Structure 1
């Protein structure tokens, strides 16, 4: 409704200052929602289903989590808390960002429904704020805040795009009922036709010579990440570019 100020879930006290102790907590509700979403997808994590999971009345949960947007915010922040940034910044920016990118990818692959979440505004929950402090702290001594933001956007853009594609491909294979080699083999007749035509030399070179499509998902991710880190290195002052490459 126009004119109504949004109040973040993080600005609302979890329990009233007076009265009896609440029967449930946001953490219980969030954990139940994540378990359901992991098993059956985000759409299955309704208030009614969560209530059944923890033994509560569906309407009673709205006293703890007023809206579905708030629920998704709590879930997303909980997942951000799984990203291990305890040792950041370590002084080796390249190792730090390599570790962080791998942690983000691993979290997404554990909770694949997160790829369906679209959030236009940052929720600024405690886990997200910790990530901002630790991860942006890696480059903060060497760059202006605007340069830091720009490079982090490039890093996050690569990681998110790569993992979304990985999740999407895996889901397509799953829906087909085929194994991954069987699913890939479906394209073989068309590929042979294109190569045999002699009309597409670049595509033929990809098929006949390129190593990248034959790499494992892990190696593809690492290869792309190294290129992104090379771009970040080029933006750093000269002494910092020589951070150990792994």
Structure 2
């Protein structure tokens, strides 16, 4: 008999079991998922095995497969539960820029709270209810700007790519600090500093030198650096919104200053 095709966890009904005399208490997907998220937050996603989760809940691992049939299902549930930390209003405010900035900041907060989240989110296709909620909000923020749905979807994807990439870099810094025992400033100053000074003094990479010596963002905090990059992404989105593009084209050019 051929194996059954896997079914999305979102299509499977939640198994409900009542406890009674002589019976072990039933569980829920949410209980199992919350236990998995707590383990992953503390020890990494690989530590969140069914056996480990069952130990935390005080049951046998095989009993949990009645609620979460596959490892992939567990990962999808974990992603969606972590995305519930992205706090957004029920509907966009009408200020697309403020709405998308809020979304990006909230995603960063969730990604730093759950260090495994962004790696999973960007490495597997999944579409649970919390992800749909967040995506609908993002598209809703751009609805009414004159953009078509393809452009809106693409721009939301661009914003996601920036946000996810920035989170991964920030987490990389934090992991390096944990591994070496050096905070990011000491890492840059004591570990990389001597090498960077040698590169600058060589003059071999002049544009890199400018990025080191003339940078106005080098000493920003991680949050400030994230917001600085986010503003650039939002500026790019603004340049593609028809009403803003038209307004910019109609604005009279500034006269050139005479020296």
Q: TM-score, normalised by structure 1?
A: 0.90
CA contact 1:233–1:241 (8 Å) conserved in 2: no
Q: Residue deviations 1:13-57, cap 9 Å, x none? A: 1126xx756700001000000111111111111101100111111
**How many pairs align?**
238
1:220, distance to aligned residue in structure 2 (A):
0.8
CA contact 2:15–2:66 (8 Å) conserved in 1: no
CA contact 2:29–2:68 (8 Å) conserved in 1: yes
State the partner residue of 2:165: 161
Larger Rg: 2
CA contact 1:85–1:135 (8 Å) conserved in 2: no
1:141, distance to aligned residue in structure 2 (A):
2.0
State the partner residue of 2:201: 196
Q: Which runs of 5+ in 2 are unaligned?
A: 20-24, 248-259
Q: Which has the higher contact order (CA 8 A, sep 6+)?
A: 1
1:207, distance to aligned residue in structure 2 (A):
2.1
State the partner residue of 2:256: none
State the partner residue of 1:170: 174
Q: TM-score, normalised by structure 2?
A: 0.85
Aligned pair in 2 of structure 1 residues 60, 91: CA closer, same or farther (>3 Å)? same
Matches within 5 A, 1:65-214: 65-117=68-120, 118-122=122-126, 124-142=127-145, 143-185=147-189, 186-214=191-219
Give the secondary structure class of the aligned counterpart of 1:187.
helix
The CA distance in 2 between the partners of 1:130 and 1:202, in whole Å, is 43
Please identify, of 47-56 and 176-185, the stretch whose mean Cα deviation from structure 2 is larger. Answer: 176-185
Aligned pair in 2 of structure 1 residues 14, 241: CA closer, same or farther (>3 Å)? farther
Give the secondary structure class of the aligned counterpart of 2:65.
helix
The CA distance in 1 between the partners of 2:140 and 2:245, in whole Å, is 14
